[in-house]
Structure 1
């Protein structure tokens, strides 16, 4: 990038963004030298966002600026240096992996895999905004991702984040792609009941992989490295709920090679609290007191099963539920029991205050996931862009290249990777 030695005031820069761009150098993050400066940018951006008098959600990365992508097979962060002082004023990161597009190849046997980049963590100091730095960071990160084989890039944000949506769709040519739903349920002081006629079976990572490849192979975003995901230390287990009367007729050791029970549900639990934490700021004292009172009552009178609000006003963690699937007439009840089982796991884990799931907007499994509407998002906007015309391994078989960005969903199911949340 170009650099000029003349110092320019902030007012001049905002009126001359083309000059400002020449003062910026976008480069890869150096974990040894950039950590403190990146943490400062993150902190200042959070403080700016929470200073408007409304409640806000602050992210605590626990001393590791790239913690949210570190579990991915390929990841990186770019930072923006400004001026002669080489001050870090912005950053962005991405992970790259291979996933299914939700379509089969022409021989109707193998799924269509594609390498995608997930973009997140875009931050620019409030004092350096409106200088096209966000656009520059996105464009440079796209180049970084293409050099590593990514054919598509996508990002996710809440539907109310107009600034982020406009940046990606209006300035960086992304298209609104999918609108999954985020479902959140607080962890209470009392245990959730599980039906006496329901058995909860824990699957080994190998069996879970077999089952998941069978169930999700035609969904969108199912990761090719599902085996790595299931064996990760943050994965707390994969669990299946089935009616006890079918327990003797189904062999969990054979996985997908065994006939599934007529009704079952399955999910995996990911421990995000060891990666990052959230904190709610900006609420009134009256609201804080009311939430605290509900927790005290729930703790001392658990038999009343008061729907208490956990302590979200100090850094807290949560469990992320993924790989959720159910079948049969009893599927919703079995899924509810699995979510109750995960809730009870979280209750015994200090500092875990919520369980979270993200599913396709029209995924039938949504019916069986307990959640609080006031804590959930009915639409989480995913925007996608085709980065280039790189050749895929299966192009010779299909002899056609489809643009995933403009294709309608081939399935109501989206496999949400916990490494991307």
Structure 2
């Protein structure tokens, strides 16, 4: 996603230009009244993608800091250049406590949204922003820092692995299911139950605390206004025998939670020819006229759209894949009823067994989202980077997305 760390190549300036630029650049904390308009303008110039080719553009909703304000500990830094304080760069970061496996928790920092003005690149501004943010994260007690980027983004990966000492750590898969004009059918033998936040928290802590990056403040996520609920699919024959108030988990189930990103950002595909747009619109019209055919119509991604993000996916028991698929179709139908929601998205570890059960379009999905990590506290006795993981599950915090 373009919200994550991005970097682009740029012709190298003379050494003396770099030195003078560094002296004239000041990094300071974001101030809404002072920086909001300038940051929005600069970020609009940093769209990801090559000229003449389709690109995915991100439009943050509201204040630029809204991307991270759902974390209790967060900051946004801007780089100013010259006497007039021209905003030439920005980076966001947050600190949280997560599991690194076996229910062992550690404080980590998440770095995201690094942007440098296209006219000021290759002048050391990005490096200065990263250094200041890492220092702030260490002051807040972070033992590790990590970033996420697409595996094709070599400039970004090289920047962090070669210049800042990050290591490639985990590779995840992003699965995307477009929202169609028709409802998805749910097997009549399956029922979907909405779980209360207190029960959801209890189940997640029981089942997923051994997974990597399981957030210690899961209760804050489940009670957040952007969380649309936690849902469990079970066979209907269990309905009369199982009382969710007891906290006992049924032997055959699938569960997940839904996060609404529409209030944080919207996406839009640009750079597509009018002919392609017309063809895609035709598939949607035909799909709406003859919904019984259930045609795989191409969604309208050429205007801003929001997404539902699925997290905390877990399944157990016989036919659990069918239950998980039905649960995903249930969320698809929720999204269909929400005007402006164009896709249902989730991100999973490549060894997560849930991957095979999640419906998605391969043409929209991508297989390798790379997470790079760095040990900030050199006195930390255990090294998460080299210790490996006993769990195939990586809990993706919806606030990171």
- The TM-score by the shorter chain falls in which range? over 0.9
Q: Distance in 2 between matches of 1:267 and 1:245?
A: 21
Q: How does 1:218-367 map to 2 (within 5 A)?
A: 218-255=210-247, 258=248, 260-367=249-356
* Ranges of 4+ aligned residues in structure 1 off by more than 3 Å: 10-16
Residue 99 of structure 1 is matched in structure 2 by 98
Residue 207 of structure 1 is matched in structure 2 by 199
Question: Is the 1:174–1:383 Cα contact (8 Å) retained in structure 2?
Answer: yes
Q: Distance in 1 between matches of 2:171 and 2:124?
A: 27
SS of residue paired to 1:127: helix
Alpha-carbon offset, residue 270 of structure 1: 0.4
Q: How does 1:10-409 map to 2 (within 5 A)?
A: 16-46=17-47, 49-50=48-49, 52-103=51-102, 111-255=103-247, 258=248, 260-389=249-378, 401-409=381-389
User: Taking structure 1 as the reference length, what is the TM-score of the superposition?
Assistant: 0.90
Residue 395 of structure 1 is matched in structure 2 by none
| Structure 1: gaps spanning 5 or more residues | 1-9, 104-110, 392-400
Alpha-carbon offset, residue 13 of structure 1: 5.7
Alpha-carbon offset, residue 63 of structure 1: 2.8
Alpha-carbon offset, residue 123 of structure 1: 0.3
C-alpha change, 1:11 and 1:353, in structure 2 (3 Å) is closer
1:180-205 per-position Cα deviation (integer Å, ceiling 9, x unaligned): 11000000010001110001011000
Question: Is the 1:50–1:281 Cα contact (8 Å) retained in structure 2?
Answer: no
Q: Distance in 2 between matches of 1:249 and 1:171?
A: 58
- 196-205 or 18-27: bigger deviation: 18-27
User: Taking structure 2 as the reference length, what is the TM-score of the superposition?
Assistant: 0.95
SS of residue paired to 1:210: helix
| Structure 2: gaps spanning 5 or more residues | 1-10
Residue 3 of structure 2 is matched in structure 1 by none
SS of residue paired to 1:32: helix
Q: Distance in 2 between matches of 1:246 and 1:11?
A: 65
Q: Distance in 2 between matches of 1:23 and 1:332?
A: 57
